[in-house]
Structure formats: structure tokens, C-alpha cells
């Protein structure tokens, strides 16, 4: 089982990111679950979302305390206590930005900048989702494209489809493949 | 075909597939996504129900009452404060013996104010005379919603489908939506024999004196007891049509040789089931999901508890000053066994506190030789002020 | 937790302008309600107690264990604010105290679920200032329509789609309903005119008996615009005539904020995502735009909003009065 925790702020779409990851996995025949840690609707407030992916059926619904992967949609959140808590030994961090802060080992992708360029809006979620799939080799990018097609339409969809290609190209494919095998999905 | 769907979205599709003609609702977290999805379907011409966005939950319940009485299949959804606000109407609907289905997106009650999941709300309405069914996952939420219309219309008793707020409503997972033809074969068109009709005018809701009140309440009580037979039968029929059973009155899993059992209602069942597989210390164990809380399935529970020495009840509510609600009813039902198991009762996950995977092993390891007083298992005593009040 | 008692005299003296709602709350960028509540408290002063309905204001000001309120404040439920405030007022009257009672609610809590309690409070003449922060939908639960949502606006329960053009029903004319209670003072206000808000609060508190203030408060998230545009959007609502600023005493109009040249409603609507569907190339969209213009024109006509006043340019002059008492 692979457990992913996604940290972001209201308005950055990290809940949608979680739903997209799970949707893509389910479309590829995996068992998956995605849900937010909930709070009042508010732009800018920290939001956490969880994703579980597995090849076997599972039924637990507790919050993820020991993620295999962390996706950080807002680099400023790295300074919030608790954001990196519980990351498993050998776990990996994907963050929005150009450079991880000192003492943090992470793959950085300028997802917000890419989103601004391709979508005209600073919503880093789809770019980070594409990078996650590319880094882990977990699922083909077409699975993410399929999930996007189910959720978006028209020019927004087209722009997102181009964005995910760009994001995928910006990270090292399969860099985290070994970590996936280590977590025994 | 398995589709990735948010729980709320799946429930909305089930309601539309059931051909509800009138939907009334007032927004309350975490029910909102259900009604929004229905509104979206209506706006896109994919659903043809009348969606009445009312000015309060009290009116939501009143609108669906009027609609059902006037001959339409009707539906509403609420949670927490909204359920309490419609409280008077819920008793009225049940006493009038009107078939209705309502989703309760279980949420804790104010005060203190909370938007997070526990089952204090539906427990507070357990005596309103509605059937209460609890879902342990979103597939059950979909299937139970459709079954609920059938149960309600068969017995002329309203049905509350309880779905843990956020934990189920806002979780995306793979769900099989039944085909429209399957639903149509399963749910005949709404036919309420006592509907308001100018061709056959009848009078409802009158004052009833002491001469007849008890007899009317007896009939209501009997209708709910009759549900003990109807609910499993409807589930079997649904399973035959779709290949999916929803848990009947209750569902048992685990090890037949177990002497310890854990019973719960709702979504934490899944976490307990996985914990049993992950932690060797948690086996052998019998797990019971109590799907039906009203009517209370005493006989089925006695059969499920056969051979157990201990049964732990994990509930998501508390009756301040008394303790467990489900626990008390379970204990009373099992007391009729020749060798009733010890019943240990705990509240857990109140106000949305997360129930971690390792709760089960910690719980089982900490069980005393004899049941102690009902308590909140995951209480953090450090957070209590000194003196404890 | 410590208890610090500060006398009311010291409280006022220790700050240049009374700040009953202080900073550190969790409102979104550009929240109209946060500004409106602050303005109301600046004018009302510290000798007040507040009954607050469930909603955004209540939630973002009180993330336990913190509170942004520096006056006594109670949140009970969604539907009972008018009644809770009435109870506070009755108690203070019985005790002979001078503390004033303010009731705060959003449009959902006022026009809809809390309407009964509000009406009862007004009818019985409780000396309470009820302030409704009108952001035209149930925002805290995720942008669902209320009876205050304007006609044709998109919300999550009145979305625009193939079969629908947003909310089908008109914005409830709450002011006429309030007027029918014949209370001493009722008024509409807007966060785009902050001095006017404060003046109306002082006016309301100076008159005996119940009073009602409807403050138009943009919600950037719900209305679909940048937080930085909140004031501009609010001002356009007034300048188009869609949200007229009026004052009523005992049910009769005694003052309005006049408009020299009312702006076309499209200037206001085009800034907001909730009206984006009205700018599609669709005859139904054009029909709704015409409808909204007609509503604005009807308001201008009905309340006499055109600034003519014998050749004097009275645009936004808030000292122009027609009838009513002699006060600034």
C-alpha cells in the first residue's frame, strides 16, 4: 500500500489533486481512496489531503500518519510544524518550488509557475500530480489525463493536458521507482 | 463498472436513479455535496426532480412530508444541527406513517460546535420512529439508499440512511453504480395508498384522544418490528440483482473460533477490519457491523454473539450522565442469552477525532477482566483542566 | 487562562479608535463581512454584547481557543439569533443596564433560517440593532443559494447549465418586509461607503427600539473576484442601483444615497464569476441581463435615487435628506 499526504492551502486544489491521483489509479484497476482533512471553507487556510493506493482491497479510513510520500503544494508550508511529520524511512518529498530549503530532502518542481504559464492560474495541483506519477513510475501519464478528462472540459482541459506533459518532462522519470518497490504495494 | 466517485456524488446519483421526484434540502456541512450534485444534474437536464432549496431544515422535512403525502417519492439530506432542527417533523412524519428516505451525514452536535463526524445526531433521533441504517462504506451508502426507498414504501415507515460525514461523504473511492434498468426493476413507481387525492379524499394528522393513541403507537411499533424481516429480504433481493449485499441487519466477519468480538456502526468498521488483518495480536476476533439500529435487531445480535465471552461495543456517541447508547441496548439484548458475553462499552472518535489503525490492538490489550463504566476510550486526559471539570 | 478586567473607560482611552473586532481572525482576503463587522463595532463602541448567528463571521473570528472579539459575544445556533438577542435585551432591561445588544447574522441566517426569530424580535420592540452582513449566499458551507442570492447568480445549488441560468428566483426584498414591521429605523449600507456604515450605526443606536441594518458585503470566493476588488465591486452594486442605499423610519423612506449617473449593471456583473454565464452568446443570457437591468431601473425609480436636487451635484453625498429628522 502506498500512502500519500498532500499539503496545500485552500484554493490550490490539493483535495482535487488527491481525487485525481485516486481516480487515475482506480481507472487503472487499483484500489484507491482519497479524502481531505476537513475544515471550514476558506481560501488560504492550510489543507491536508490523503491518498491510499494499493493492488489489494483495503478498508481502513484513518488519517495517514506515516506517509510514503509527501506532496507539498506551497513551499511556505515547509515551515509549518508537523507538515513533514511521520514520513516513512525511505519516504520522499515532492514540493512546489525551485529549491528545497536547507535540511529538507525533496524534489522541487516549479509547479505554480508552470500552472501560471499554461493555465493562467497559480494552481499547482495537476502539475504536481503529473510529477508524482513520473517520479514513481506508478501509473502512466495517460491515466492522469483520463482523470482530468472526467473532471474538466474545453480549454481548461486542453491546457491541463499540456501542463501535465510539461511537468512530467521536468522531473526525472522513475527516480522513485525503487521506493515504490520498497513499500510493497 | 467500478467508477471513482466521491461518496456524496455517488449518493446523489443513487437518489436520481431512484427517481426521487421532490428533493428538498438546506445546506449544512458535510451534506452539501450531495445536494450540489443533484442541483448540477438538474441544471444540466440530467435529472428531472423538483429541487426545493428551503429556508431551514425544519422546512426541508416539512416539504418532503407534503410531497410524499401528495403522491411523490421524496428525499432530503441533512446532518447534526439540521437533524435536530427537523426533530419535531421527524416524529410527525413517522407517526403519520409516511414513506420517506433521508441521508444523515453523521456529524457531532453543538455545543461545542463541531463540523466533524460522530453519530450523536442520529442517535439523538433514535426514538423518532424511523428505520435507521448505518453504512460502513460508500458502496453500502449507494446500495442502502436505493434499498431504503423500497423498505420505506413497503412498510410505510420513513428510513434514515446514516453515512459518516466527511469520512464517507467526502471520500473518493471506487463505487459501482447500479444500472438504471436494475433500479427500475427493483423500485416500482411510488404508490402511496393513503396519498392525498381529490378522488379519494382522506383526512390526516388529527387529534387522537387517550382512547386510541396507544393502539396507533402499537401499530407504528409493529411496523418497525416488521422491518426486521423486510430489511434482510430487501438486501437479499438487491444482492440477487446486483451481486452486492449491503449487510442485512448486521454483518459478521472474522474468526469463528473467536471468544472476543468488537461491534460498531459506520465507517470505523473498515479501519477495525484492516487492523485485525495487520496486527496478529488482534486475532482471533469476531467483528460485527450493526447496520440496522432501528429497529433494534436483538435476535440477530444474540445469534451473532453466540459463543463470545466478551463483546466490545465501540460507539460514536455518548449519553451524558448515563454513558453508552448502543452499549446499553446491546447489553440488554444479550442479557437474555443463557451465558451472555461481558459487554465492554466505549465511545471513540467523538467530534471527528481520527480513529487510528492501532486503536484496535491498544483497545484489546487494555480490556479489564470485568467491564468498567462506559468511557471515552481515546480521551486525552492531559487536555483536561486540573480538577477535571 | 488568565482573567484581565479592564474598565470600559480605560478600554476606550487606550486606543485611538475602538476596535471591537481585532486583527488575527481567519477571514479570506478581501472579506466584506470582516470589514463590515469592524466598522459596526467602531461606531457602536465597547458597551455592547453580541448575539452572532452561525456563519463565516462566527467561524473565522473564533478559532478556539482564540477569539478576535473584544466585546462580550455569544454564538448559539443558526436560526435563533433574533431570539437570543431579545433575551439579552430583556435581561439588561430588567437589570437597568445601559449595555446595548447587537445581533449579527449573514443573509442565510437572517432572510431564511433566522427569519422567524428576527420578525418576533422586531414585532415585540426589543431594543436591539440587528445587522445582517449580506454576501448573498450560504458561504461558509460552500456557496449555496439563499433567498438573498440575486436573480441569475450561479451558486452550487443554483448552478448555470443547459437547463438553468443560475438562480431562478428574485432576491428577497427584505427591506420591504422589515419596513412592514414599522420599526424606528432600518437601512441598507455597503462596505464601499465606510463612513456611511458608521453613521447609520450611530443613528440606529440613537433611536429607541429595534433597528435593522443590511450591509452589502462582497465575498471574493463566492462571487468569483479577486479580494483586492471587493470595494470596487461593492461600490458598483450601489452605483448601478442593484443595491440601493436607503434609510427608513417607521416603514417610510427618509433618505437615500443619490446617484448622479447610474452605471449599467453589466459594469458590476462582469467583474464576478457568479455572473459569468450571463456573458455567453446565448439569448437566455441576454434576457437575464435585461432582466437585471430592469431590476436596477426599478430600484432607482422606486427609491428616487437620481441625484437632481435643484442643479446641485449630490453624487454620493450622504448629507442629502428628503424629509426625516435634522441630523447629519
Express each pLDDT in A131-152 by its tens digit. 999 999 999 999 999 999 999 9
Which of A103, A104, A95, A163 is CA-nearest to residue A135? A95
Chains that touch C (3 or more CB pairs under 8 A): A, B
What the block records as the C-alpha cell of A52 is: 491510499
Residue C314 pLDDT level (bands cut at 50, 70, 90): low
**Which domains are present in chain A?**
2-183 (3.40.920.10)
Q: How many CB pairs under 8 A join A and B?
A: 73
If one looks up domain B251-383 in CATH, what number appears? Answer: 3.40.50.920
Strands B310-315 and B292-294: unpaired
Contact A90, A34 (CB under 8 A): no
How far from C123 is each of B165, C49, C77, CA to CA, in Å?
39, 21, 21
A28 part of contact set with chain B, CB < 8 Å: no
Which chain B residues in 256-315 lie under 8 Å from chain A, judged by CB atoms? Answer: 267-271, 273-275
What the block records as the C-alpha cell of A164 is: 501535465
Residue among B29, B53, B56 whose CB faces C157 most closely: B53
Which residues partner with B176 through β-bridges? B2
Contact B336, B150 (CB under 8 A): no
pLDDT at C10 over 80: no
**Which domains are present in chain C?**
16-303 (3.40.50.970)
Residues A63 and B116: their CA atoms lie apart, in Å, by 14
How far from A109 is each of A51, A112, A176, CA to CA, in Å?
20, 8, 15
Residues C238 and C259: their CA atoms lie apart, in Å, by 9
ipTM of the complex: 0.93
pLDDT of residue B268: 98
Residues B9 and B29: their CA atoms lie apart, in Å, by 15
What is the residue whose three cell numbers read 493506493? Answer: A53
Buried b (16+ CB within 10 A) or exposed e, B53-70: bbbbbbbbbbbbbbbbbe
Q: Mapping DSSP to helix (H, G, I), strand (E, B) and coil, where does residue C252 land?
A: strand
Residue C1 pLDDT level (bands cut at 50, 70, 90): very low
Q: Exposed/middle/buried for A155, CB within 10 Å: 0-12, 13-18, 19+?
A: exposed
Residue among B39, B45, B81 whose CB faces C77 most closely: B81
pLDDT tens, position by position, C120-144: 999 999 999 999 999 999 999 999 9
pLDDT at C317 over 70: no
Contacts B115 to A, Cβ<8 Å: 38-40
Largest CA distance in chain B: 69
**Closest chain A residue to B117 measured between Cα atoms?**
A38
Residue among B32, B53, B55 whose CB faces C142 most closely: B32
For B85, residues 6+ apart whose C-beta sits below 8 A from its C-beta are B56, B57, B58, C79
Contact B186, B238 (CB under 8 A): yes
- Most confident of the ranges B151-165, C19-33, C255-269: B151-165
pLDDT at C240 over 90: yes
Residues B102 and B64: their CA atoms lie apart, in Å, by 10
Mutate to test the interface with B, among A62, A144, A149 (most CBs of B within 10 A): A62
Q: What is the mean pLDDT of residues C194-217?
A: 96
Cβ–Cβ gap C29/A44 under 8 Å: yes
B2-242 and B251-383 have identical folds:
yes
If one looks up domain B2-242 in CATH, what number appears? Answer: 3.40.50.970
φ/ψ of A103, rounded to 5, equals 85, 0
Amino acid at each position: 500500500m502506498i500512502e500519500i499526504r498532500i499539503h496545500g492551502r485552500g484554493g490550490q486544489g490539493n483535495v482535487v489533486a488527491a481525487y485525481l491521483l485516486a481516480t487515475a489509479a482506480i481507472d487503472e484497476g487499483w484500489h484507491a481512496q482519497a479524502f481531505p482533512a476537513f475544515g471550514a471553507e476558506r481560501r488560504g487556510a492550510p489543507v491536508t489531503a490523503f491518498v491510499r493506493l494499493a493492488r489489494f482491497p483495503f478498508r481502513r479510513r484513518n488519517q495517514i500518519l506515516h506517509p510514503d510520500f509527501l506532496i507539498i503544494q506551497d513551499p511556505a508550508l515547509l515551515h509549518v510544524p508537523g507538515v513533514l511529520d511521520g514520513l516513512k524511512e525511505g519516504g520522499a518529498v515532492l514540493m512546489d518550488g525551485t529549491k528545497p530549503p536547507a535540511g529538507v530532502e525533496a524534489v522541487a518542481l516549479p509547479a505554480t509557475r508552470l500552472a501560471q504559464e499554461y493555465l493562467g492560474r497559480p494552481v499547482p495541483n495537476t502539475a504536481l500530480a503529473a510529477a508524482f506519477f513520473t517520479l514513481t513510475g506508478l501509473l502512466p501519464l495517460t491515466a492522469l489525463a483520463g482523470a482530468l478528462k472526467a473532471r474538466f472540459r474545453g480549454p481548461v482541459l486542453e491546457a491541463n493536458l499540456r501542463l501535465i506533459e510539461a511537468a512530467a518532462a521536468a522531473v526525472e522519470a522513475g527516480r522513485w521507482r525503487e521506493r515504490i518497490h520498497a513499500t510493497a504495494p | 463498472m467500478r467508477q471513482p466517485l466521491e461518496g456524496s456524488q455517488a449518493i446523489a446519483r443513487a437518489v436520481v436513479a431512484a427517481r426521487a421526484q421532490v428533493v428538498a434540502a438546506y445546506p449544512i456541512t458535510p451534506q452539501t455535496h450531495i445536494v450540489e450534485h443533484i442541483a448540477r444534474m438538474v441544471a444540466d437536464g440530467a435529472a428531472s426532480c423538483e429541487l426545493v432549496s428551503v429556508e431551514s431544515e425544519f422546512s426541508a422535512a416539512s416539504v418532503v412530508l407534503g410531497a410524499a403525502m401528495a403522491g411523490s417519492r421524496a428525499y432530503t439530506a441533512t446532518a447534526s444541527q439540521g437533524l435536530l432542527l427537523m426533530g419535531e417533523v421527524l416524529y410527525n412524519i413517522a407517526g403519520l406513517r409516511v414513506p420517506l428516505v433521508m441521508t444523515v451525514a453523521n456529524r457531532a452536535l453543538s455545543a461545542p460546535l463541531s463540523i466533524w463526524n460522530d453519530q450523536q445526531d442520529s442517535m439523538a433521533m433514535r426514538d423518532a420512529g424511523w428505520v435507521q441504517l448505518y453504512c460502513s462504506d460508500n458502496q453500502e451508502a449507494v446500495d442502502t439508499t436505493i434499498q431504503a426507498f423500497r423498505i420505506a414504501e413497503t412498510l410505510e415507515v420513513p428510513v434514515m440512511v446514516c453515512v459518516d460525514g466527511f469520512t464517507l461523504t467526502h471520500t473518493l473511492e471506487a463505487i459501482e453504480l447500479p444500472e438504471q434498468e436494475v433500479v427500475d426493476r427493483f423500485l416500482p413507481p411510488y404508490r402511496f395508498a393513503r396519498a392525498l387525492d381529490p378522488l379519494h379524499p382522506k383526512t390526516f394528522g388529527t387529534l387522537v384522544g387517550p382512547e386510541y393513541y396507544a393502539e396507533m403507537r402499537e401499530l407504528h411499533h409493529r411496523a418497525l418490528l416488521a422491518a426486521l424481516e423486510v430489511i434482510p429480504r430487501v438486501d437479499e433481493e438487491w444482492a440477487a440483482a446486483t451481486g452486492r449485499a449491503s449487510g442485512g441487519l448486521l454483518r459478521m466477519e472474522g474468526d469463528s473460533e473467536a471468544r472476543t468480538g468488537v461491534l460498531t456502526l459506520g465507517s470505523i468498521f473498515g479501519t477495525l477490519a484492516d487492523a485485525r488483518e495487520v496486527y496478529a495480536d488482534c486475532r482471533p476476533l469476531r467483528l460485527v457491523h450493526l447496520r440496522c439500529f432501528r429497529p433494534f435487531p436483538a435476535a440477530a445480535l444474540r445469534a451473532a454473539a453466540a459463543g463470545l465471552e466478551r463483546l466490545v461495543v465501540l460507539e460514536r456517541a455518548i449519553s451524558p450522565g448515563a454513558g453508552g447508547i448502543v452499549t446499553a441496548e446491546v447489553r440488554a439484548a444479550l442479557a437474555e442469552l443463557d451465558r451472555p458475553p461481558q459487554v465492554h462499552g466505549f465511545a471513540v472518535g467523538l467530534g471527528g477525532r481520527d480513529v487510528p489503525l492501532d486503536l484496535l490492538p491498544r483497545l484489546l490489550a487494555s480490556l479489564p477482566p470485568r467491564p468498567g463504566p462506559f468511557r471515552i476510550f481515546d480521551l486525552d486526559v492531559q487536555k483536561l483542566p486540573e480538577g477535571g471539570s | 487562562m488568565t482573567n484581565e478586567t479592564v474598565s470600559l473607560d480605560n478600554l476606550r482611552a487606550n486606543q485611538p479608535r475602538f476596535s471591537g473586532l481585532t486583527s488575527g481572525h481567519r477571514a479570506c482576503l478581501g472579506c466584506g463581512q470582516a470589514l463590515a463587522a469592524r466598522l459596526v463595532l467602531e461606531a457602536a463602541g465597547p458597551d455592547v454584547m453580541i448575539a452572532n448567528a452561525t456563519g463565516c463571521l462566527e467561524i473565522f473570528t473564533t478559532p478556539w481557543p482564540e477569539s478576535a472579539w473584544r466585546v462580550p459575544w455569544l454564538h448559539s445556533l443558526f436560526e435563533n439569533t433574533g431570539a437570543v438577542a431579545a433575551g439579552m435585551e430583556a435581561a439588561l432591561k430588567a437589570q437597568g443596564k445601559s449595555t446595548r445588544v447587537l445581533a449579527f447574522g449573514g443573509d442565510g441566517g437572517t432572510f431564511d433560517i433566522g427569519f422567524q426569530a428576527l420578525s418576533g424580535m422586531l414585532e415585540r420592540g426589543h431594543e436591539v440593532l440587528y445587522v445582517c452582513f449580506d454576501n448573498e449566499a450560504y458561504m461558509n458551507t460552500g456557496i449555496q443559494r439563499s433567498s438573498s442570492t440575486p436573480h441569475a447568480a450561479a451558486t452550487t445549488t443554483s448552478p448555470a447549465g443547459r437547463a438553468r441560468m443560475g438562480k431562478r428566483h428574485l432576491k428577497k426584498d427584505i427591506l420591504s418586509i422589515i419596513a412592514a414591521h414599522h420599526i424606528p429605523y432600518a437601512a441598507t449600507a455597503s462596505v464601499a461607503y465606510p463612513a456611511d456604515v458608521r453613521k447609520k450605526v450611530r443613528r440606529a443606536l440613537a433611536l429607541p427600539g429595534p433597528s435593522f441594518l443590511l450591509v452589502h458585503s462582497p465575498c471574493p470566493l463566492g462571487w468569483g473576484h479577486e479580494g483586492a476588488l471587493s470595494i470596487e465591486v461593492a461600490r458598483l452594486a450601489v452605483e448601478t442601483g442593484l443595491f440601493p442605499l436607503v434609510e427608513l423610519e417607521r416603514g417610510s423612506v427618509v433618505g437615500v444615497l443619490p446617484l448622479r449617473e447610474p452605471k449599467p449593471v453589466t459594469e458590476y456583473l462582469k467583474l464576478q464569476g457568479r455572473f459569468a454565464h450571463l456573458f455567453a452568446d446565448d439569448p437566455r443570457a441576454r434576457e437575464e441581463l435585461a432582466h437585471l437591468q430592469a431590476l436596477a431601473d426599478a430600484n432607482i425609480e422606486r427609491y428616487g435615487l437620481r441625484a437632481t436636487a435643484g442643479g446641485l451635484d449630490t453624487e454620493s453625498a450622504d448629507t442629502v435628506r428628503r424629509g426625516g429628522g435634522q441630523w447629519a
